[in-house]
Amino acid sequence: MSLFPFPFSPRKRYFVPLPGRAPLELGERTLVMAIINVTPDSFADGGVRFDPGRAVEDGLRMIEDGADILDVGGESTRPGAEALSEEEELRRVLPVVEGLGRHSRIPVSIDTYKAAVARCAISCGATIVNDVSGLQYDERLAEAVAETGAAVVLMHNRGRSREMYREASYGDVVGDIVAELGSTVARAIAAGIRRDAIVIDPGLGFAKSAEQTFEVLARLAELCSVDRPILTGPSRKSYLKAALGAAPVTERDWGTAAAVSASILMGAHIVRVHAVREMVDVVRVADRIRAAARASARDIQS
């Protein structure tokens, strides 16, 4: 039985290899992944970064604010969103990935489920593929990740954006997520992706009701059994309305801060957020609480 004080979860250290650069060191402190939506219809920021120059400029500012990873996405994955063509997605994201790669030193992630987009983004400097489908939408994506040596975030999801809530039926939501993510990891490894290059994401709000999403956050530590680093994306999502009411999306950052803290205390290695400067402060405080919990555990054990 762990002596790590409740409600804090132990957090294993991992080194995730990245092509052409030092590996991500995960576990000692929480990393902040900054969201850069290059879409005209982003639910969270109203499409303010649809212009590539603005997106690059904002990404560089996010680095100054403390971001550890920049996550660039060209297709909205909000419930009900329409799928985007490869050509249009590439037109949106490649100038941004290339610009950030040229002017920044931190890893750039491409938020896509399309193999062709992933390959092109990696050739332009991306080193991580953030796949909301968990290798379900494009059967070529696993091969693309394996051949390029990129790291990959595999998110738990069911169904496409337009019908995902129809799939939100679980016997035990966390137990089912753990089992399905375990199968996804096994499928990725069978396709040639290195196990140590895989990060898992429980998919907060994706094919999950608000109540199920809060339960996932409360039981996040159970994902440790998959033995891969954990990323959560709690930022500004609609599940927060269950607690905050009808607050506009841009006024959900206090609620997001609570979910970010819970994620970290329950064992997340990376948090994916919109408001970088504010959430970096949240992460630093939560990490100090974790450090104090570790020190208390050592004192008890000695």
Residues identified as active-site:
237, 272
**b/e sequence 149-176, b meaning 16+ C-beta within 10 Å:** ebbbbbbbbbbbbeebbeebebeebbee
Angle between helices 141-148 and 115-123 (to 10 degrees): 20
The one-letter amino acid at 36: I
Burial label for 22, CB within 10 Å (0-12, 13-18, 19+), is exposed
How many CB atoms neighbour CB 293 within 10 A? 18
Chain centroid to CA 291 = 23
